Amino acid sequence: MKQILCVAAFVATCLFAKAQNIKGRVTDAATNTPLSGATVIYAGKKIVTDNNGTFTLECGKAQSLSVSYVGYTAAQKTIGDCGEELFVALQPTAQTLDRVEITATSNQNKALLYQPNSITKLSPVELKRSTGLFLDDAILQNVPGVTMSRRSVSGGQQFNIRGYGNGSRGTRGISSNFDGQGYKVYLNGIPVTDAEGITTLDDIDFGSIGNVEVVKGPSGTLYGLAIAGVVNLHTIRPEKGKTYVSQEALVGNYNLQRYTTQFATAGERSSLLLNYGNQKTEGYTIHDNSRKSFVNAVAEFTPNAKQTINTYFGYSNSYDQRSGELTIQQWDANDFSGNPEYIKRNAHSNVYTFRAGAEHTYQFNNNLSNTTSIFGTSFTSNVSSAGGWTDKLALNIGLRSTFDTKFAVGNGATLSGTTGVETQRQNAQTIGYGMIDPLGATHVWRYGDPYFIIGSTAAGANGTTSNVYSITATSSLFTEWTLALPSDFSITAGLGWSNMKVALDDRIYSAATPNKPTHYDTTYYPGLSPRVALNKVFSKEFSVYASYNRAYKAPVSSFFYIPYAATASSETGVVNSHLKPETGDQFEIGTKGSLLKGKLNYQLALFEAIFSDKFSNKNVVNAAGTATLYSYVFNGGKQTHKGIEALLKSTVYQSSTGFVSAIMPFANVTYSDFKYDDYPFSTTLSTVVNYKGNRVAGVSKWVTSAGFDFTTKPGLYGNLAYTYRDPFPLTSDGLANGVPYHVTSYSLLNAKLGYRHSLSRHFDLDASFGVNNIAGIKYPIMVFVNQIPDAYMVGPTEAVYFGTVNLKYNF
């Protein structure tokens, strides 16, 4: 009997001891991949995670533990029930290039170190250094060679990648930044750029973005008509093994308010993220209010080992007032009263969008997989400006399907490739209206009077000035292959083919021009977009590469035809058969590295991009040379862009036991030598100027940023960031009102201090306070290139203060 009792006591003791052991897992918060070798400090002892990122410790000796890993922000975790597994997700600090993966590549190794071109990735560390609501803050600080501007406090956002201008804004001027053209933007794999090639970002909830990838330079092989580059946006991802609900409130001066409610859950086979955001501000100047509401739902399912399904749904309601551009005289005089012609018409941009997509990946075997996504966007907007009121209703639908293949070819070499198709179609109706003073044509409008309304003073007119129905469709076929040879040497070659169909119906009839055509259509076949690249990785730590890429940009629907002129020849009112897409060719060499066990990361790129067949303007005048009969766009320009971009991130100090956990400085610099090369342009009547040898408008020669992030063991964290931008020409001839003129240089200094802590097993707190533009510098958030007298959109002229509190409940 005693033997039985002894055995039972021994078994009970073992079971009790086992019950007191708690297991945990440490992962990368951005990718959910396990972190092997992470340090866990518990009850004064160090434990190291295994190859699966897991650890085991004896429960009951302490109420919390801390976890640290090189290149990640240390975290503290409160221990609750010993029977529940602990999940600890660490946020990356300076992301090591051998871990950062990119979206689209033929290389089976998707790490950034193995990609032979210039790509910059932004994680939550960079995206949340400021408010996290305005993406241009993160782009200007962290992406060399790329700038981002906005036409109002929270609307009209645009990218400028390596100085590419949108070509001609019809007949107004070259290098125009009137709207977003030349680059492509994707959100969770769904094109934000419409089928015509125009990108509107007013409706994007940048506060929910957790990952940004910028591909710089012509990208026609894998992305079609992307002559300037590609921006891939991804919403935040739930942390595997966690379920939580959080509420965040951000408030600041200029009556900035943002409230975000979020629910997330993720298991081994599925995840769900629900996000609601409400945002508003009074803006930086008169008539600059903004209000936005966003809803996002992201779900991922893994039915079995061969299949993965991702879905996305988003709704947005965005309303941004526009004060109008300031003239140079207003800017110099610190007169920020805006443009009365805008304000009297209640200038604004109101955008409603529904965006949805579903992606299915099927792994046939170890050598072949397919990923197919279908997507659609419903876009409705009403916009008013000095020119009147415009309603637009557009529907975009499309799909992208790729086959990824991988083969062993002997002697340690592998051949991997991606082959696929992307197609998109847009049906859109755009109606323009005139606007009149409701108090009568003789009334002199003043601030505070009723806004103008849609209408016309002409007898029998209802105010409609235009009614255009357009169909645009683009398709791309592509294939790219990478031969990975021994010693980490690879050769990449690819070929893309794209087209664009444009059809336009003018639904306004005028008895004054009975012979005016009402239908135009054409299809552009730009040609092939090749890519060739070499990449060599040394000791898994740094690489050197060389690449050549080509891409095209097709004309948009507003100027692919020659406008009808009743007094001119039969050459008007027809499709401009001589107009062809612009061509971009880029040669690039560079090196990337992740040295000192990931504590030092760098990228360096030298490139030359040649944009030929650039769109320009030509005037046709009457026989007497006294009046312009009509103007049209033609291929007449060339630009050569030579540049150097360098980026550095490091962890100069890291400790798992000291008060300061990590200090991580960062810096980047861009040098741009961009010039026009034989670029004629018609100005007034028959005058033609040539901008050959002039600097490309809107581009600074030098742009640099530097700063540092720090974290501490108790939970304090913060950053300091400095940005400088060189002077740059406002116009292609370097003149304004007949005299030399450059936009002046400016510097910005931002700082943020925060505290994050696990209050209990269920509650996490993150509170922060930040200041942007500490010195109160006057600077523009947008400069309007070649649009004189329109010139500036003013940013905040005093320091911007903001505070954030995020409370999370963990189930």
* 3 state SS of 2: helix
d(CA 27, CA 377): 34
Q: CB neighbours (10 Å) of residue 32?
A: 15
Residue from 405, 291, 382, 284 nearest 338 by CA: 284
CATH level 3 topology of 112-810: Maltoporin; Chain A (2.40.170)
d(CA 365, CA 240): 26
Q: Would you state the pLDDT for residue 94?
A: 54
Q: Would you state the pLDDT for residue 18?
A: 46
- Neighbouring-strand partners of residue 148: 159
> Two tokens at 181?
């053209």
* CATH architecture observed for domain 2-90: Sandwich (2.60)
The Cα-based distances of 466 to 388, 432, 461, 632 in angstroms read 11, 5, 12, 19
Residue from 379, 303, 323, 345 nearest 449 by CA: 345
H or E, element range at 389? strand 388-410
Residue from 726, 711, 705 nearest 779 by CA: 726
DSSP 488-513: GEEEEEEEEEEEEEEEEEE----TT-
Q: Would you state the pLDDT for residue 108?
A: 77
Q: Collect the ranges in the chain with pLDDT lower than 70.
A: 1-20, 30-33, 70-71, 92-102, 166-173, 460, 568-570, 683-686
Q: Is the peptide bond before 303 cis (omega within 30 degrees of 0)?
A: no
Q: Would you state the pLDDT for residue 2?
A: 52
H or E, element range at 292? strand 290-304
> Two tokens at 630?
């009509």
> Two tokens at 354?
């529904």
- AA letter at 683: T
Q: What is the DSSP letter of 72?
A: B
Please report, for the chain, the start and end positions of each structural domain, with discontinuous segments joined by +: 2-90, 112-810
Handedness of CA 120, 124, 126, 128 (dihedral sign): positive
Q: Which residues contact 608 (CB under 8 A, 6 or more apart)?
A: 586, 587, 588, 640, 641, 642
Residue from 613, 764, 588 nearest 680 by CA: 613
Is-above-0.85 flag for pTM? Answer: yes
Same fold for the pair 2-90 and 112-810? no
Q: Would you state the pLDDT for residue 625?
A: 75
d(CA 700, CA 677): 18
